[in-house]
């Protein structure tokens, strides 16, 4: 015995869904349709499925032309093309030919493009296209220049124009040859200059090495002790003056470093009878700032010299005459410039870290003069003469050095001191007024 179906339970409609017998679902069953899934053949369609299918049939995707429409359009265009060809009517044949060509390419191009990408690489496709374009360009040149007509004898050559053109090309060739000759001559000059510079550098180094050996043999005996008698010292100074006058800045710096490291520029303490240097008990020679005698005195050998950009660290140039010397960019770290004459020298961008410009306290230190002897305890007359010197953008300038340069540099030098000279008196002007 079957139970009567509840009114709330929907009864399945076993009849096929057609537009005639389709009924709209009740509001209780109008929910969002689930995704359409493919069912096995023979399965029954529920009212929801019928609603979903009916809705998808009205979607915008169905607005595009079906394959049958493309076939119909192709057939009509082909018939019109044949009619235009039979009637020799361009008004009909030309538009229909364009339409038929477009329809044909629409079908042919996708498989043809895929085949080209599979058989021919992209690089070969570019080469093929470039070759076709090159052939077309050559044919265009032949067509527009009339070369075929000239070869066939249908067109005469204007020999006057050809002659004028040949003269123009000849003039251009002569000018090009002249420029080429000028370039070759310039390159030969540059190469010759580089070779000459390199040869001069080698010769200079050989000269410096010979000087080092000669000075060593002259002032040092077989036991390694200084034998700097007055004749030896005079000859050593003469050799030094001669070689410094013929060297460039780097060569001069090498000589100064050698003489400074070997203590030949340092005032050495000597005995009062033979003038021999005295040992300091530590394996070296004792220095004497007041009465010491140097083996080689630079005096004015470096005046007006160009030593820019050289390495002069830890060099001994005290009491050296460096008037108007170019020391721009030099590394003068720990160098001794006490009592040196730097009048008008260019020390811009030089390194002055721990460079000695004076002895004693900065408050009592003063530049050297011609009359009074130096006092190394108080610093009077032990400082360098820095009047009119250029200290623009110097590096490593300590506060004591800045005070000394501002106090004894004069008006022109004070304008170049990094950090300014505010609050520092101009002692040089005061001394001149006194």
For 333-383, write each residue's pLDDT tens digit. Answer: 999 999 999 999 999 999 999 999 999 999 999 999 888 999 999 999 999
Residue 199 pLDDT exceeds 60: yes
Residue with the bigger pLDDT between 7 and 366: it is 366
Q: Please give the pLDDT value at position 211.
A: 95
Q: Of the candidates 70, 107, 103, 100, which has an alpha carbon nearest to the alpha carbon of residue 85? A: 100
Q: What is the pLDDT of residue 17?
A: 43
Which pLDDT score, from 0 to 100, does residue 153 have?
Answer: 60
Summarize the confidence of residues 316-339 as an average pLDDT: 96
Inform me whether the pLDDT recorded for 84 exceeds 70. Answer: yes
pLDDT of residue 147: 67
Q: What is the pLDDT of residue 225?
A: 77
Measured between alpha carbons, how far is 332 from 341 in angstroms, rounded to an integer? 15
Of the candidates 228, 211, 209, the residue with the CA atom closest to the CA atom of residue 220: 228
Inform me whether the pLDDT recorded for 38 exceeds 70.
no
- At the top level of CATH, which class does the domain 298-434 belong to? mainly beta
Task: Compute the CA torsion angle 11, 17, 22, 25 (nearest 10 deg).
Answer: 40
Q: How confident is the model at residue 26 (pLDDT cuts 50, 70, 90)?
A: very low
Q: Are 258 and 216 in contact (CB under 8 A)?
A: no
* Average pLDDT of the residues of the chain: 82
Angle at 27 between CA 24 and CA 32, to 5 degrees: 85
Task: Report long-range pairs for 365-368 (Cβ below 8 Å, ≥24 apart).
Answer: 365/404, 366/408, 366/427, 367/408, 368/319, 368/339, 368/341
Average pLDDT of 28-52?
Answer: 40
Q: Decide which of 64 and 312 is more confident.
A: 312
pLDDT, one tens digit per residue, over 265-311 is: 999 999 888 888 899 888 889 999 999 999 999 989 999 999 999 99
Place of tokens 């050989």: 206
196-216 mean pLDDT: 94
Using the predicted structure, report yes or no on whether residue 322 has a pLDDT greater than 90.
yes
Residue 3 has pLDDT above 70, yes or no: no
Of 88 and 26, which is predicted with more confidence?
A: 88
pLDDT for 67: 59
When pLDDT is cut at 50, 70 and 90, the band that residue 430 belongs to is confident
pLDDT at residue number 154: 60
Burial group, residue 265, by CB count within 10 angstroms (0-12, 13-18, 19+): buried
pLDDT score of 417: 96
pLDDT digits (tens, 9 = 90+) for 140-156: 777 666 666 666 666 66
Position 23 confidence tier, pLDDT thresholds 50, 70, 90: very low
d(CA 320, CA 336): 10
Q: What DSSP letter does each residue of 95-111 carry, written as one string? A: HHHHHHHHHHHHHHHHH
Most confident of 14-18, 59-63, 374-378: 374-378
* More reliable by pLDDT, 30 or 379: 379
In the chain, which segments carry CATH 2.160.20.80? 298-434
- Please check the confidence at residue 49 and state whether its pLDDT lies above 60: no
Residue 194 has pLDDT above 50, yes or no: yes
């Amino acid at each position: 015995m079957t139970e009567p179906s509840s009114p709330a339970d929907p009864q399945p409609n076993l009849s096929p869904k057609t537009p005639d017998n389709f009924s709209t679902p009740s509001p209780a069953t109008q929910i969002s349709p689930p995704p359409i899934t493919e069912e096995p053949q023979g399965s029954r369609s529920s009212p929801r499925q019928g609603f979903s299918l009916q809705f998808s049939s009205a979607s915008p995707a169905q607005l595009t032309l079906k394959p049958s429409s493309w076939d119909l359009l192709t057939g009509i265009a082909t018939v019109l093309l044949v009619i235009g060809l039979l009637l020799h009517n361009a008004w009909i044949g030309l538009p229909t030919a364009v339409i038929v060509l477009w329809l044909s390419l629409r079908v042919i191009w996708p498989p043809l493009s895929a085949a080209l990408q599979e058989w021919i690489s992209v690089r070969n496709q570019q080469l093929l296209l470039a070759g076709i374009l090159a052939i077309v360009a050559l044919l265009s040149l032949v067509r527009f220049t009339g070369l075929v007509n000239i070869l066939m004898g249908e067109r005469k050559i204007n020999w006057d124009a050809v002659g004028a053109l040949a003269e123009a090309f000849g003039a251009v060739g002569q000018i090009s040859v002249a420029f080429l000759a000028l370039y070759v001559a310039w390159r030969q000059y540059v190469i010759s200059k580089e070779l000459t510079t390199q040869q001069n550098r080698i010769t200079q180094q050989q000269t410096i090495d010979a000087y080092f050996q000669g000075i060593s043999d002259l002032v040092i005996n077989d036991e390694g002790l200084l034998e700097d008698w007055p004749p030896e010292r005079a000859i050593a100074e003469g050799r030094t003056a001669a070689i410094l006058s013929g060297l460039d800045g780097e060569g001069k710096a090498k000589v100064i470093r050698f003489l400074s490291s070997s203590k030949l520029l340092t005032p050495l303490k000597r005995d009062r009878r033979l003038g021999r240097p005295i040992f300091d008990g530590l394996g070296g020679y004792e220095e004497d700032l007041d009465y010491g005698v140097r083996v080689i005195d630079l005096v004015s050998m470096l005046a007006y010299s160009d030593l820019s950009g050289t390495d002069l660290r830890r060099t001994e140039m005290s009491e050296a005459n460096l008037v108007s010397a170019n020391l721009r960019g030099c590394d003068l770290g720990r160098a001794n410039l006490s009592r040196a004459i730097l009048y008008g020298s260019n020390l811009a961008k030089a390194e002055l870290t721990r460079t000695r410009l004076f002895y004693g306290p900065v408050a009592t230190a003063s530049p050297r003069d011609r009359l009074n002897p130096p006092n190394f305890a108080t610093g009077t007359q032990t400082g360098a003469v820095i009047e009119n010197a250029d200290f623009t953008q110097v590096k490593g300038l300590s506060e004591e050095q800045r005070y000394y340069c501002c106090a004894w540099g004069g008006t022109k030098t004070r304008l170049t001191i990094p950090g300014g000279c505010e609050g520092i008196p101009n002692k040089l002007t005061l001394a001149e007024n006194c």
